[in-house]
Amino acid sequence: MALTGYSWLLLSATFLSVRAEISITLEPAQPTEGDNVTLVVHGLSGELLAYNWYAGPTLSVSYLLASYIVSTGDATPGPVYTGREAVRPDGSLDIQGVLPGHSGTYILQTFNRQFQTEVGYGHVQVYEILAQPTVLANSTALVERRDTLRLTCSSPSPTAEVRWFFNGGALPVALRLGLSPDGRTISRHGIRREEAGAYQCEVWNAVSVSRSKPINLTVYFGPERVAILQDSTTRTGCTIKVDFNTSLTLWCVSRSCPEPEYVWAFNGQALRNGQDHLNISSMTAAQEGTYTCIVKNTKTLLSGSASVVVKLSAAAVAMMIVPVPTKPMEGQDVTLTVQGYPKDLLVYAWYRGPVSEPNRLLSQLPSGTWIAGPAHTGREVGFPNCSLLVQKLNLTDAGRYTLKTVTLQGKTETLDVELQVTRWRLLGVEVVSPPSDREFPDVGDHVSPSDWELQE
């Protein structure tokens, strides 16, 4: 492009202007960064002497791009010439490898032999191939109704349009209301749990679109609706009734994020259990009472609790007598353990055989003390739970034992058990007491303690 000065530019100030009939189109219509484009001129008329191209909104020397003399083909660069522009003989303007800075208004001014000028306007918009944006958050873990969420879509393309996505779909209404005017920032005061999830932003223009990687937001809440369930699914009322000697699992449930910490208490006393469930393996009267589950959220610093009363069911009132050990040997102690005795017990009595005064071993009075009966041998002891201890059994202790109970309401109940006593023998010879060292034969008799045998 030859440099010939600004002679035609200076002359243009004395020319008369006419109504613009020139039109300019851009090819391609939506160029991206690096494309070669042409501002194609249409509607030129008459014999033209020169062209002036301006890259700016007005016909000002400061916006002059180039001047072109038709007869010689000489072009003179202007102040805004970048080296990428070239004027064609037909007045069109080529730009090689356009950049975003080439976007804007372009003006063509023509000069004819009648010293008249015509003006045409064109516009160039260079679109970027957009880079992937990034979502920036003030925090990705917030407490419900307390914290404020701020998300910003960071992109090196300030002119690109921005849209947001929540879990791959549209933003919730409350979040859309918190968008900034340029759409690049979301503000949400008092975040809600339903707004936890994956957030993405997308930048786009006419020729390019790019979406960010998701950023996951966690919203902490609770604990709420704390309850105790039976066997993980059955919702309990205020009281759970359980059969005697059966198992029970209590589950503590709540709505909470994250999972809360658990503390169990029984009748107001803390238990060593940090789990969401509590197992009662064998239900007895000792396990009756109030069970409380206390939950605490370490993020929200909130807590809650629920309680339930566990009782033995009516079926558990039926008493059982279990000898411990079940097959005692002569010389041992045995306890006739009573399970499921009445809670409103007034008095009880034990009998050696059927219920009759001569057979009474002992009785417990309302004061809690017990007194011996006619059949008491001095080896029997009674306990508050109705159990009976018989010490240093002999074979004559085997047989039937009967328990009689009377409640505060005057209800009387009897229950019996058959006690068996295992005896010893030596080489087929029965003995009436367990062997001791003095009962063994002499060493010379070649008999060892292993020769003793048990016989039921």
Q: Model confidence at 314, in pLDDT bands (50, 70, 90)?
A: low
For residue range 38-81, what is the model confidence (pLDDT) as tens digits? 999 998 888 899 999 999 999 999 999 999 999 999 999 999 99
Return the residue matching tokens 């008999």: 447
- As a whole number of Å, the CA-based R_g of the chain is 51
What's the chain's average pLDDT?
85
Q: What's the CA gap between 235 and 407, in Å, rounded?
A: 34
| CATH 2.30.38.10 is held by the domain 23-124 | no
Amino acid at 374: P
Q: Which fold has domain 320-419?
A: Immunoglobulin-like (2.60.40)
E strands present in 32-140: 37-42, 48-55, 64-69, 75-77, 85-87, 93-95, 104-112, 116-124, 134-137
Q: Which fold has domain 134-213?
A: Immunoglobulin-like (2.60.40)
Any idea where the domains of the chain sit in the sequence?
23-124, 134-213, 226-312, 320-419
Q: What's the CA gap between 376 and 359, in Å, rounded?
A: 9
Q: What's the CA gap between 326 and 416, in Å, rounded?
A: 15
Of 54-63, 91-100, 306-315, 394-403, which gets the smallest average pLDDT?
306-315
The answer to whether 134-213 and 226-312 have equal CATH topology is yes
Q: Which segment, 3-7, 147-151, 241-245, 385-389, is predicted with the most confidence on average?
A: 147-151
Q: Is the pLDDT of residue 381 over 90?
A: yes
Any idea what DSSP says for residue 422? B
